[in-house]
Amino acid sequence: MTRSEELFQHAQVRIPGGVNSPVRAFRSVGGTPRFIASATGAWLTDADGRRYVDYIGSWGPMILGHQCEPVREAILRQAQIGVSYGAPTELEVQMADLLCERVPGLEMVRMCNSGTEATMSALRLARGATGRDHILKFEGCYHGHGDALLVKAGSGLLTFGVPTSPGVPADLAKYTLTATYNDLASAQAIFAEYGDRIAAIIVEPVAGNMNCVPPAPGFLEGLRQLCDDSGSLLIFDEVMTGFRVGPRGATGVYGVRADLITLGKIIGGGLPVGAFGGAATVMRHLAPIGPVYQAGTLSGNPLAMAAGLAILRALADETIYQRLDATTATLLAGLQQAADAAGIAFTTTQVGSMFGLYFGHGPIRGLADVSACDQDRFKRFFHLMLDRGVYLAPSAYEAGFLSAAHGPDEIAHTLDAARASFAALAAA
């Protein structure tokens, strides 16, 4: 039995499913999750001493690789002078300044502890600021596990939301309307019916939780227009895309302004963090200057602020993004070539250093296209790659990420593994 197998057995006694976040349990690909002992650069080392090129990057934060020196130093330095005070610090002011300087549309920002908190709080703020109760989200977009957001579409366009999870009251879920990602007409139809009751549209400007689906031309612009016409707020959930798809996030890449933006992942450098911000006129509704309540014992935590500031300062060098984009393109072209050579139907998507891999021909425009791909092949490919030291996301519905620590050696190692894995798939 491997150490990961032992640990997994033990973990399942004390932790539901053996994990503290469901996708880590490998449920959708089968097998035993690897328990990670350490990580450096682009590599993970598991409890059995096996090494893997990491394409998850802690689900996004590790854009400069694991143990990147400025972040490591910042955490160590802060740990020596205090890890939490429950009082304001200069670090928080620096973080707020930096986020507002870099992200178009941010005039004020509030820190919290996770992406889930950021989206929950942004929605409450949007509801409080507009005096409306309904929200519109898109099927296949994930915004954390807040009650109002654990909702998927019913069958008809205009059906009320039904909860995806037991524990979410139907009376609450009914305020969550759901449209189809990249299908502006589906959102327009809902606005025709509910427009004056919708507080906000919340959307991943690049969908990264149904694999990696870029916005169709005109989609984000169309959502902006709907909000302008009906007095609703547009919320870009940039928890994943912020400082990932470009130095100004998806807002910078696509040039569409949201009223509120949620952030997380990268801005904490790997420590627990979230943030939401936007126009001062909206943000001024928040307590203590406004009536909309939001708070947190550890919000603006000094360790997280120190780590986040270090990574964001390093990312001021925008050439990092050019290199990341180029390395990602090289990887994806190599994978496509390997799949083609083996005669495997395969396609990829890329936005900056976020990518999607699909066992199908594409194009990939939304959840229906992703679901139509060969999930079984993905599962086998995932394990063939894992056995060869390449750690892809353990689900066909998750985006992959590169880091600046992924260089020619890591790409070569990955493509060698891919050639062998595609050949094994073709032979099966």
Distances (CA, A) of 319 to 84, 316, 326: 34, 9, 11
- In angstroms, give the least distance from the CB of 97 to ligand PMP: 23
Say if CB 143 and CB 149 are below 8 A apart. yes
Binding to ligand PMP by residue 264, rule CB under 6 A? yes
Q: How far apart (Å, rounded) are the C-alpha atoms in residues 268 and 274?
A: 8
Residue span binding ligand PMP (CB under 6 A) among the ranges 111-119, 130-138, 221-229, 410-418 = 111-119
Give me the residues paired with residue 236 across strands: 203, 261
Binding to ligand PMP by residue 204, rule CB under 6 A? yes
Binding to ligand PMP by residue 116, rule CB under 6 A? yes
Q: How far apart (Å, rounded) are the C-alpha atoms in residues 219 and 226?
A: 11
Q: How far apart (Å, rounded) are the C-alpha atoms in residues 200 and 98?
A: 26
As a residue count, the chain comes to: 428
DSSP secondary structure code for residue 203 in this structure: E
Q: Which residue is nearest to ligand PMP (CB)?
A: 115
Binding to ligand PMP by residue 301, rule CB under 6 A? no
HSE toward the beta carbon, residue 311, CA cutoff 13 A: 31
Catalytically annotated residue among 46, 54, 183, 237: 237
Nearer to ligand PMP, 116 or 403 (CB): 116
Please say if 174 is a catalytic residue: no
Nearer to ligand PMP, 384 or 392 (CB): 392
| 108 Cβ neighbours under 8 A, 6+ residues apart | 96, 100, 277, 278, 279, 280, 283, 284
Say if CB 382 and CB 45 are below 8 A apart. no
At 125, phi and psi to the nearest 5?
-65, -45
Please say if 254 is a catalytic residue: no
Catalytically annotated residue among 137, 152, 265, 379: 265
Nearer to ligand PMP, 190 or 261 (CB): 261
User: Under DSSP, is residue 207 helix (H, G, I), strand (E, B) or coil?
Assistant: strand
Q: Which pairing describes strands 43-46 and 51-54: parallel, antiparallel, or unpaired?
A: antiparallel
Binding to ligand PMP by residue 146, rule CB under 6 A? no
Residue span binding ligand PMP (CB under 6 A) among the ranges 34-42, 50-58, 70-78, 232-240 = 232-240
Distances (CA, A) of 90 to 100, 176, 310: 16, 38, 14
Q: How far apart (Å, rounded) are the C-alpha atoms in residues 42 and 380?
A: 23
Nearer to ligand PMP, 134 or 137 (CB): 137
Say if CB 402 and CB 331 are below 8 A apart. yes
**Binds ligand PMP (CB under 6 A): choice among 209, 232, 299, 347:** 209
Binding to ligand PMP by residue 115, rule CB under 6 A? yes
Number of residues that bind ligand PMP (CB under 6 A): 15
Please say if 52 is a catalytic residue: no
- In angstroms, give the least distance from the CB of 117 to ligand PMP: 7
Binding to ligand PMP by residue 211, rule CB under 6 A? no
- In angstroms, give the least distance from the CB of 268 to ligand PMP: 9
Q: Which pairing describes strands 233-237 and 260-264: parallel, antiparallel, or unpaired?
A: parallel
Site for ligand PMP in 40-99 (CB under 6 A): 59
Binding to ligand PMP by residue 268, rule CB under 6 A? no
Nearer to ligand PMP, 143 or 248 (CB): 143
The two three-digit tokens of residue 82, written as one number? 């205090």
Residue span binding ligand PMP (CB under 6 A) among the ranges 67-75, 115-123, 171-179, 336-344 = 115-123
User: Under DSSP, is residue 239 helix (H, G, I), strand (E, B) or coil?
Assistant: coil
Binding to ligand PMP by residue 240, rule CB under 6 A? yes
Would you call 266 exposed, middle or buried from its count of C-beta atoms within 10 A (0-12, 13-18, 19+)? buried
Binding to ligand PMP by residue 175, rule CB under 6 A? no
- In angstroms, give the least distance from the CB of 309 to ligand PMP: 19
Binding to ligand PMP by residue 237, rule CB under 6 A? yes
**Binds ligand PMP (CB under 6 A): choice among 143, 244, 285, 365:** 143
Binding to ligand PMP by residue 199, rule CB under 6 A? no
Give the catalytic positions in this structure: 142, 237, 265
Residues forming the site for ligand PMP (CB under 6 A): 59, 114-116, 119, 142-144, 204, 208-209, 237, 239-240, 264
